[in-house]
Amino acid sequence: MLFWILVVALAVAVALLLGLAALRVRGHAQEAADYDLKVYRDQLKEVERDLMRGVISEEDAERLRTEISRRILAADAAAKAAARGETAQPRWAGPVLAAAVALGIVGGTTWLYMDLGAPGYRDQALAERIAAAEERRQTRPGQAEAEADVPAQPPAEEPPEDYAELMERLRSVLEERPDDVRGHMLLARNEAALGNFTEAYAAQERVLDLRGDGATAQDYADYAEMLVMAAGGYVSPEAEAALSAALERDPRNPVARYYLGVMFRQIGRPDRAFTTWDRLLRESRSDAPWAATLRAQLPELAARAGRTDYELPEPDNAAPGDGPTAEQMAEAENMSEEERTAMVRGMVDSLAQRLAQDGGTASEWARLINALGVLGETERAAAIRDEALSKFSGDETALDRIREAAESAGIGG
């Protein structure tokens, strides 16, 4: 109620100010007309003085008298009209304008509030909003209920015939070999690629069961992502549990952190979503799959979190050791073979130093192994391979990537 009282009071105040301004215009019209008459009469006297001094000719004086007399007649007419209250603006214009503005303020404010606000809700303290968000988190629908509410999707484009046949064979093989971990991993990825997210997370769930305590952070992150996709982008309690399992194993897992931010947005915690996503963006390469989405949504999320002074971090398009820039590639064309080799070796050393200090993805470790193989530094490549195999122990996907790189570098897996 207090809100509406304030709105009406402000509208009336604005209307009164506009009404007073309109009345003042009418009063000032008389004063302006009288002032103009005085100025023009003074000008006539000045013309006569200039004529007597010989400054102007009789012909010029006559022309000036005519022009000034015309202006005097116009000013005199304006003064008489102002005295009678006959101005260019009708008497009713000021009050009508004030009333229209007042109605516009009240109506516009009401419309905006009804459209964007929450009529009937009282002000909530921060602690109450956090408690309400936690209640939404605890009582939100489960995975099955969320999937049931997902609108029907148009039929997906049929895959190529040979690909469909391979998928059928894979499904049949896994029915006969239900304990084949690698087979279920392959099935989960391909079902997801086909848009069969329910089948995909069922296969990934089997992977988690078979791996038991050896399941990796990425295994759980992939499972959570498939659950989210099956629920139409909604992070269910089951998906949240999978995200928590992924982050327990690897607090820096980017997929889990991204969907955790999505969950915080959905339950009404923009502050935690902002903190999660901002940190993820700052620790990600600019070409990371989630980077563009974060850059598009973080400014609005920052405003909702009360961070009005937030500025997006500059994109890091050439993180140390990630490869040559366009300028470096252009310079390399004019280099000798020895100079090019030295440049490549410098980038390799930079990548190796960054991975040793900050860690990195399996792809980055594989790239380093490949690069060392190209440079002929097989002993160093073997040492990096062993370090990477130890670092990603238990993550079969990452281990496969590293072994493939080792094979390419000629040092075996």
Residue at 343 is within a domain? yes
Residue of 140, 135, 133, 150 lying closest to 273 (CA atoms): 133
Contacts of 290 (CB under 8 A, 6+ apart): 254, 255, 258, 280, 284
Assess whether 164 and 300 both reside in one domain: yes
* pLDDT tens per residue, range 63-103: 888 888 888 888 777 777 666 655 545 555 556 666 676 67
Determine, yes or no, domain membership for 313.
Answer: no
Sign of the dihedral defined by the CA atoms of residues 150, 152, 157, 160, in that order: positive
Rounded distance, CA 140 to CA 144, Å?
Answer: 12
**Same domain? 243 vs 283:** yes
Q: Are residues 109 and 167 in the same domain?
A: no
CA dist., res. 55 & res. 53, Å (int): 5
Do 87 and 173 share a domain, yes or no? no
Question: Based on the domain organization, do 257 and 363 belong to the same domain?
Answer: no
Same structural domain for residues 170 and 284?
yes
- When pLDDT is cut at 50, 70 and 90, the band that residue 223 belongs to is very high
Ranges of H-type helices in 197-325: 197-211, 217-230, 237-249, 254-267, 270-282, 291-304
Are both 165 and 299 inside the same structural domain? yes
**What total of structural domains would you count in the chain?**
3
Say whether pLDDT at 107 is over 60.
yes
* Mean pLDDT within 247-264: 93
Worst-scoring range by mean pLDDT, 60-64, 187-191, 268-272?
60-64
Tokens of 166: 């391979």
Domain carrying residue 361: 326-408
Confidence grade of residue 326 (pLDDT, cut at 50, 70, 90): very low
From CA 139, how far away is CA 136, in angstroms rounded?
5
CA 217 to chain CA mean position, Å: 27
Domain CATH number, residue 196: 1.25.40.10
Instruction: Identify whether 21 is part of a domain.
Output: yes
pTM score, whole prediction: 0.54
Lowest mean pLDDT among 96-110, 158-172, 278-292: 96-110
State how far the Cα of 391 lies from the Cα of 399, in Å rounded to an integer. 9
pLDDT tens string 173-222: 999 999 999 899 999 989 988 889 999 999 999 999 999 999 999 999 99
The verdict on 168 and 290 lying in the same domain is yes
Sequence-ordered list of residues with C-beta below 8 angstroms from that of 316, at least 6 positions apart, any chain: 285, 286
Residue reference for tokens 């997370």: 201
Domain presence at residue 141? no
**Under 8 Å between Cβ of 18 and 95:** no
pLDDT value of residue 82 = 63
Residue 183 shares a structural domain with residue 279: yes
